[in-house]
Amino acid sequence: MASRLFVLLLCLLMAACAKAPPLADLPLSKQDDTLVRTDAGAYVGGISENKARTWLGIPYAKPPIGDLRWRATEPLPYQDSTRTALQHANWCPQLTNGLDGLFGIPKGELRGNEDCLYLDIYAPSDATSRSNLPVMFWIHGGSNVWGRAAQYDGSALAQSENVIVVVVQYRLGPLGWFAHPALEDGIANFALLDLVQALKWTRQNIRNFGGDPDAVTLFGESAGANNVLALLAMPEADGLYRAAIAQSGLPMSVPLELSSDGMAASITGAVPAAQAFSGLSEPDSVALRQAALERIFDAYRTGRTPVVIRDGVTLPDEPLADAIASHQSGANLPVIIGSNRDEAKYLLAFDPQMIKKTFFVFPTPRDSDHYSAVSHYMTGLWRTLGVSEFAGQLLDADTGPVRTYRFDWDEEARVGPSDLSEMIGAAHSLEIPFVFGNFENFMGKLDKRLFTKTNAPGRQALSQTMMSCWAQFAHGQDPGSVAGEPCPHWPEVTTDAPTQTMMFDTPEDGGSRAEIETETTRTLIAQLATDPVLNDGRRRCELTNRLSRTFFLLRPELTDELSLLCTQ
């Protein structure tokens, strides 16, 4: 989802940025004392730069190739062998985007291999099979069509916070999310079944790496957070985790009929499976599974893949938020959900209607007030629908303790007339390096513009705070309850007091602290109806149409309410 932001930032540095070298994927040096046995064989890993024990590219399921394409994920058979786990695995098939360009990879290429169901494991340097450490199970974002394990180095988080970090790959795009009548069993969410199988593998094997199989915390960002939430509604995932963190996700799902017929393109911009394969004469399951990979992905170049589908098999046929509240009612599941203060700026920064080129090179807002207003309402609804009101729904259903947060860091550098703190701010995905404690290779050569020597003390302090809070939660503690740790007291959402949310920011900007949450969907819409910045031309209509398209699947009834503002 964040690829457009990265394309913009690349343009900011045209004078300084030649092609970046490809993302380094050099194998670790083998360390014999990392030999670990699993139920599918033994693996030898290596040691990261910060001394964390590391295993890369461990398979957790049979490759979903040939007749296993678009089938439920199958476990690996036992193999009496010892193999090295020193290098990241194949990517799952995906179309490259603007972020890949920062590492010398052209945009729009089909990369990857269907044999891609692998995971990476990071453990503290002193972890043994008797350590019994909590496990943090990371699900990457990327609109569920892009991303891979190699982008996330969990070694700093593992070593600093005494946890085991698992980073998992799963089927993407039309291979992971596909509702077609020719498929026999009615499954559409193959990627979710991959994640369930990875969790089963983790439960069966993680003790040998130093982890506690009964102390798994799911965490993910963007589409990864959406998948975390989907797992909370899946009976098949029950017992495989004890807590969950959703970073900048939305409890959003696609009705089956929108995924399988022609309505999807007109309403959501997604390409339904039947339409994508209209060139095949009445395709059956054999024809679909024999189709060339290029043929499958070419069908989705001009539209989105429907993801997190209410197929009635892996997920119930009801809105995802309702399914989670119903399934987790009385389960006492600890949950953290949150968002970034400027989520929408990752979209606006690439929008030619919002951005102009100053001196033919440097992007700046065409109208700063309008830019800020559009970001405020788009981000605001993201927040109220996906965090505040969803947290209230979980509380009403008595699912367990719920905490919320907002990430506010915005201390990026200025590049000529381009003020990155204004244009990007606390945009979508920027909290990830703070959670992982790793600011290298996040955006290639652009890292030096976002993460500078000047802002290093503040962001490193904030990173330590966030890592501490995430890890305390994974350790089964109330975040902020451990004396001497940087995580401040983080109150739960309750019904008998005003809702408080944790604001994560640097000491220079007030530090991380709990504040009262006051904004609601009602107040946002009331502001939007009278905001003088939107009185110019058709700005209000354009914004309400954009909001309707963005949040239709999450709150369909908002469409009619927003449309009324266009006539005022």
Task: Give me the pLDDT at residue 278, please.
Answer: 62
d(CA 410, CA 425) in angstroms, rounded, equals: 4
Q: For the ranges 4-18, 320-334, 398-412, 469-483, which has the lowest average pLDDT? A: 4-18
Whether residue 474 contacts residue 136, with contact meaning beta carbons closer than 8 Å, is answered with: yes
Mean pLDDT, residues 105-123: 96
pLDDT of 6-30, one tens digit each?
344 444 333 333 333 334 456 799 9
Contacts with 196 (C-beta within 8 Å, 6 or more apart), sequence order: 73, 231, 234, 236, 237, 240
Residue 265 predicted with pLDDT over 60: no
Task: Give me the pLDDT at residue 175, please.
Answer: 96
| pLDDT confidence tier of residue 266, bands split at 50, 70 and 90 | very low
pTM, to two decimals: 0.94
Torsions phi, psi of 196, nearest 5?
-65, -45
Task: Give me the pLDDT at residue 79, please.
Answer: 87
CA atoms within 13 A on the CB side of 93: 21
Residue 159 CB burial class (10 angstroms; 0-12, 13-18, ≥19): buried
Averaged pLDDT of the chain: 90
Would the CA dihedral through 26, 27, 29, 34 be positive or negative? positive
The angle that helices 558-565 and 539-551 make with each other, rounded to 10 degrees, is 170
Q: Cα angle vertex 149, ends 478, 55, to 5°?
A: 85
Which amino acid makes up residue 158? A
Question: What is the H or E stretch that residue 259 is in?
Answer: helix 256-260
Q: Which domains does the chain have, with CATH numbers?
A: 3-516 (3.40.50.1820), 521-565 (no CATH)
d(CA 1, CA 343) in angstroms, rounded, equals: 11
Task: Give me the pLDDT at residue 281, please.
Answer: 52
d(CA 175, CA 191) in angstroms, rounded, equals: 8
Task: Give me the pLDDT at residue 537, please.
Answer: 86
Mean pLDDT, residues 64-78: 96
Task: Give me the pLDDT at residue 99, please.
Answer: 80
Percent of the chain with pLDDT over 70: 91
List the one residue out of 31, 76, 32, 80 whose CA is nearest residue 58.
76
Mean pLDDT, residues 267-275: 62
pLDDT of 217-234, one tens digit each?
999 999 999 999 999 999
Q: For the ranges 221-235, 344-358, 510-524, which has the lowest average pLDDT? A: 344-358
Residue 222 to residues 65, 146, 165, 208, Cα–Cα distance (Å) = 27, 12, 19, 31
Task: Give me the pLDDT at residue 285, please.
Answer: 86
Question: What is the H or E stretch that residue 98 is in?
Answer: helix 98-101
Q: Pairing mode, if any, of strands 500-504 and 402-407?
A: parallel
Residue 269 predicted with pLDDT over 70: no
CA atoms within 13 A on the CB side of 79: 14
